[in-house]
Structure 1
């Protein structure tokens, strides 16, 4: 719908309310007019033009200069008609003009369509026209204090509404661009996690095995290593997976139990731990990445333990191993080298779920990764 649509609807409502007020004054003062018939004609024109502009401005394609110029011309014409409809003595005494506040409608339209400068220009034209009414009424050029007050109010309306509308439209455009960029970044990170969990691991395996076998296999391993490095450099952006809609909850225990083996012990609560499918899948994928790190970086015979804890405020999943541990600067060095397994496959996933990851490790003491995810 956009930021402008409500503004144009508000202007249409203002025109109708101002028309009702002007009609009330015409009905009350028509007997005092120099030409009552002309007063009714002006009121009929204002009514017809209000109906037309409410329809015309609703379509963005018609909000161009022809309609804006015609709108301002009709308002100025109805304002000038006061000099022939009202008696000169009443104008001299400060009688209200025929359209009253209705003339502010075009000023607001100009402000919304072009900002404070265009709104101020329309206000000046309407203000000069209102002052001119006193010059052609037959009693001399004697605008009243009420006339000047009206000019100032119309000018302020055109300036402020135009300024606010311009700021709102620009903010909406920036927000749309930011959302677009964020969506693109989130999608890139989602793909990066998928790549890390599949392609990069295969390339790493080929590189390691090729170096062990030697000969032509070593060359193949070298090429795989180069491609791995090139691919890692492309997957360093943030993202957030798209949430599932309307799907039944998934028991996280079932997903985690599938990782149990002679080297991995999985402990879960006795009761189900239901989570939205996307949340459960992302937590399970983070656990898979943690266990894969154990297999890749720890020696043979290393054991791992997966512990699932269910809390009223969320779930806690811990992955602990009895491997050699790692230095405190290992993760930072891996990130600098483009190895983002922990940063994206674990921390990235949990962060996107609104949770946090704590990693505790020291040389010779194993590693523990604790993932805390709040319930949606």
Structure 2
């Protein structure tokens, strides 16, 4: 499959591209290699990666626990200390093998260690392949607040090996599917239509769907690398989705949601808001709601959940001058950024979702 040229780095596809990776490592004469994994990818993915890696450099493995709870500055300190103790220097290469938590935290650690060392992302989940590992956003959560601390800094390359997807449970695959649905809704109506009725989707061509999803995100990021304009389109579903994800993460009475599960709810809510603001037709809204609810189980919201979720919106990174900013749909395949929405309409969207 054709390489996608991103902003300063290539996104490579398939087994044969491990040869490209090996040549890159050799040609750049790195002093040593560190591989960051979590407990899952250490068990399920690392061996496959090492079977393709050809190098005479010293290799050190750093393992952290899996899960969003590990995506914090304390974990970064632990990794920085390990890098220091094991002799990492400015010519060290860090290879991040895992889902979005690993690529986010690994990119941040590399970008800040000794003012920056090179890193490569090997995403192993669908979510990381189509979203987290692409675009140069790296960082960690601040308490329960998503991605509050971080930098924009691109890897040397991203290598997509879809064989890793065979290690994923169904709920993790659905989590990644949410971002693919989003890419169609904000940018490409014909791409969205391939998912709007999953019974008509030929998943034998799923690699092609992944490739197109990455193309869409890359096209947007290339226009606006630092998120001053159109890149905000990628936040559709995320303003409310991140608040819901954070609330469920901190609340012991709630089941922790996967990122895509929260974003799926966020896309329905924000599609309703788009409809109420006259940007989306009733038929389009119903199409979106029907398609997403056919894939994702409903999330139960109690009356006393809504105010804490609203309170979390103030911490959204897109906000400017204290105003909450939404990216809303202007029809399927188009987006309108920097839209202010009042709390009454947000509450109305939750009521519609519950119905």
TM-score of the superposed pair, with normalisation by structure 2: 0.19
Q: Which has the higher contact order (CA 8 A, sep 6+)?
A: 2
Choose between structure 1 and 2: higher helix proportion.
1
Choose between structure 1 and 2: higher strand proportion.
2
Larger radius of gyration: 1
TM-score of the superposed pair, with normalisation by structure 1: 0.18
